[in-house]
Amino acid sequence: MDSSVYIDHNATTPPLPEVISAVCSAMGLTGANPSSVHANGRAARKLIDDARCSIATLVGAMEDQVVFTSGGSESNNTVIIGAGRRRVLVSPTEHAAVLKTVLTRTGDSDLVPVDKDGLVDLEALEALLAEDEEPALVCIMAANNETGVLQPMAEISDLAHRHGALVHCDAVQAVGKIPVDIMAWGVDFLALSGHKIGGPQGIGALVRCTNSPLDSLITGGGQERGLRAGTENVAAISGLGVAGRIAAETLVDKSTRLKGYRDALETGIKALSPATTIFCEDVPRLPNTSNFTLPGIRSDKQLMTLDLAGVSVSAGSACSAGKVEPSHVLDSMDVDPDISTTALRASFGWSSEETDVERFLDAWGDLTRRQSSGNMKAISK
């Protein structure tokens, strides 16, 4: 039996057993191009139709508003590049799939400031919208992948629409963790991803809730009503549909259970290290996510020690080539780099169990004890 503890669901979720079965069964269809009119093709088309229905239900959309893509990155890119808005207003805490695309692929962009919790400054957004001579595209994520902080999407859409702007919401981390309702949020476009909801990697959807024009990123055949050319990945779409249906059915129970684990973990880390900071603790955030620090010990060193103990979490900072850089999210929240480079992110998901919290606290407790006994030199440098 695998004895490792996986608390990194915001990075990717293990596929649900029902998803694995659906993918295998769809791959077993013979000669099934969903554009073919013969029986095999119709069987493949039926799988896609069913998946479209599940994903539409999950986010409160109509089936014809759902476009299957290769994932969150492609959905975000399609809107940012294809919505035809030259000016884009974006929060500095967005995932790179949005932030980098806006900064490198659009004509004119402005960063919308955030406060110390990473919440968008609505007055600053309004001022930026007011100085706009042409209607903009506003790109704000529903839930942050690092801190879990939730943006007030309905207020943002309302503000943006009063100035003729369109709103694109990266809901990759929100879907399956909190209720998502495109009508209540009033967004024009929304991105979601299979591998964050127990579905396959490399599949996702773009939900287009407006009649405003949108150019396809990939041109060719007329699949997905001309919004995404290429023969559909039937097996992955089918798996996404199953994941979406289960996400809708289990949302309430799962959120309550995961919030319990998250809260127990935070109570435990505060007891072990009173100097810890838990980011966004007092504002609305995802029930499964915690981003916290262990002052004095770099994130990569903590990760290594936890990994040796069989516990997988993520650094709350960007580690590459032996260097730890503050995360752009914590940086935008004005967190001191000495603190942000010691941040970790724990994110629970469908496969999490109560014992995962105990295993994490045992391993992290060792770190804090070694630190306070002065045995931490080797790992704090």
Ligand X SMILES: Cc1ncc(COP(=O)(O)O)c(C=O)c1O
Q: By CB under 6 A, is residue 97 in contact with ligand X? A: yes
Listing DSSP states for 129-189 in one string gives HHT-SS--EEE--SB-TTT-BBP-HHHHHHHHHHTT-EEEEE-TTTBTTB---HHHHT-SE
Least distance (Å) between residue 367 CB and ligand X:
26
How far apart CA 224 and CA 215 sit, in angstroms, is: 12
Q: By CB under 6 A, is residue 288 in contact with ligand X? A: no
Choice between 294 and 303, CB closer to ligand X: 303
Choice between 42 and 105, CB closer to ligand X: 105
How far apart CA 99 and CA 76 sit, in angstroms, is: 10
Least distance (Å) between residue 144 CB and ligand X:
7
Q: By CB under 6 A, is residue 349 in contact with ligand X? A: no
280 is annotated as an active-site residue: no
When binding is defined by CB under 6 A, the residue of 13, 65, 73, 147 that contacts ligand X is 73
DSSP 38: S
Site string for ligand X, 154-193 (x = CB under 6 A): ----------------x-xx-------------------x
Choice between 312 and 380, CB closer to ligand X: 312
Least distance (Å) between residue 219 CB and ligand X:
20
| Residues constituting the chain | 381
Choice between 125 and 143, CB closer to ligand X: 143
Q: By CB under 6 A, is residue 233 in contact with ligand X? A: no
Q: By CB under 6 A, is residue 71 in contact with ligand X? A: yes
Q: Compute the Cα dihedral for 250, 253, 256, 261 and give only its sign.
A: negative
Cite the DSSP H helix spans in the chain.
17-27, 39-59, 72-82, 96-105, 122-130, 153-162, 182-185, 234-272, 299-308, 328-332, 337-340, 354-372, 377-380
When binding is defined by CB under 6 A, the residue of 9, 85, 87, 95 that contacts ligand X is 95
Which residue has the closest beta carbon to ligand X?
A: 72
Torsion of CA 36, 37, 39, 41, to 10 degrees: 20
Question: Per the residue annotation, which of 169, 209, 280, 319 is the catalytic one?
Answer: 319
Choice between 170 and 300, CB closer to ligand X: 170
Beta pairing class for 311-312 and 5-6: parallel
How far apart CA 137 and CA 82 sit, in angstroms, is: 11
Positions annotated as catalytic residues are 319
Please give the residue ranges that form the binding site for ligand X (CB under 6 A). Answer: 71-73, 95, 97, 141, 145, 170, 172-173, 193, 195, 204
